[in-house]
Amino acid sequence: MGWLGDEAYTGWWLLPECDRNCGKLLSASGMPYEYGNIYPKAVFPNGEIGFHGRNIFHSDFMIRPCILLNVYRDKNDYREYDLAYIQTFAGKERRDGIGERCVYHDVSLKKWRLIIQLDAERYYFLSVFIGEDGRLDKFSLDEEGAADSHYEFKEEREIRKKLYVAGDEDKYLDEILIRYAAQYGPQCLKGLILPYVTAQFHYD
């Protein structure tokens, strides 16, 4: 994907059919453009399409078949949970509502647990466990109902990668999961998490 250019673009790229091995964009005649490569960008979700390149706009580009690629910044530059952030919620009363947070400190395990409500029905919660030393221990998708289930996982990067939209670098994981659950339902959220589960516990 490096041939897309040096610009720090994220989001969706709209690319014409081309030789992706060398990155040359071909005109309708099949010949490379005379003044170098074009790096087109499609800005989503508002649908506005903008083009960037060193040469002029080409009408034949607009009508050629296109490929949509989701470009994700494959580096650890997203907003991470840390102990200082979690401790800001310590002592606050647990309330009902999507995105509401509460914190517990387990002195015996030397861990802090941040719990975030993910859906309006209070069936799904995200738990974030951080040690007293400040290191992130694990996540847990908690399903509460007639029987409680807990699905522990540690993978955050790949989940973010699957759900990425521009601007997610400035969001915590729970904000992204809340958006997904609102769009597709909590059960789909559970299905998304399951491939990354490292341990699960069920209580009647």
DSSP class per residue in 31-87: PBPTT--EEEEE-TTT--EEEEESS---HHHHHS-EEEEEE---SS-S----HHHHH
Tokens 């400035």 sit on residue: 170
End-to-end CA distance of the chain: 48
Amino acid at 189: L
Listed by start position, the domains of the chain span 2-71, 83-203
Tokens 């919660």 sit on residue: 125
Per-residue pLDDT of the chain (204 residues; tens, 9 = 90+): 333 333 333 444 444 444 333 333 333 444 443 333 444 444 444 444 444 443 444 433 333 344 444 444 444 578 999 999 999 998 888 888 999 999 999 999 899 999 999 999 899 999 999 999 999 999 999 999 878 999 999 999 999 999 998 889 999 999 999 999 999 988 899 999 999 999 999 997
C-beta separation of 174 from 189 below 8 A: no
SS3 162: helix
